[in-house]
Amino acid sequence: MGFGKGQVLYYAIKADYDALMEITIHDLRFMKKRIILKIHGEVQGVFFRVQAKKRADELGLVGWVRNEPDGTVRIVAENGEDELKKLIEWCYNIPSARVEKIDVERGKATGEFEEFAIKY
């Protein structure tokens, strides 16, 4: 017993759709980026890490934030380019801190994080 014309067309379309979805999911994984920020200024003792986590969660970022021994704050974050840019812009406008400059390193996302955390 063979397939009717409608069944053949359905399976051809479904196979194309499944292949397209696999490609799209693969491409999205590689579109994610990573930034490593070193934030200079009065950024410790002003609840910067707590506020950074809240903002990262709002933007759907994964990674971490921590105070560094040299008085800076380091953030490692991953997601899409737009969300990462919004995080950098936000860092310059946090009311409780005085950010003098931000060193930014960019790279490909590693996918090693499941959430955004505060490191101590």
Tell me the C-alpha distance between 89 and 62, whole Å: 17
| 49, 66, 98, 106: the active-site residue | 49
Could you tell me whether strands 98-108 and 73-79 are parallel, antiparallel, or unpaired per DSSP bridges? Answer: unpaired
User: CA-CA distance, 3 to 102, in Å (whole number)?
Assistant: 63
Q: Determine whether 93 is an active site residue.
A: no
Whole-number Cα distances in Å, 30 to 63, 71, 77, 78: 17, 34, 15, 11
Active site residue 67: yes
- Selecting among 34, 55, 67, 106, the annotated active-site residue is 67
- What whole-number distance in Å separates Cα of residue 83 and Cα of residue 59? 6
Question: Which residues carry out catalysis?
Answer: 49, 67
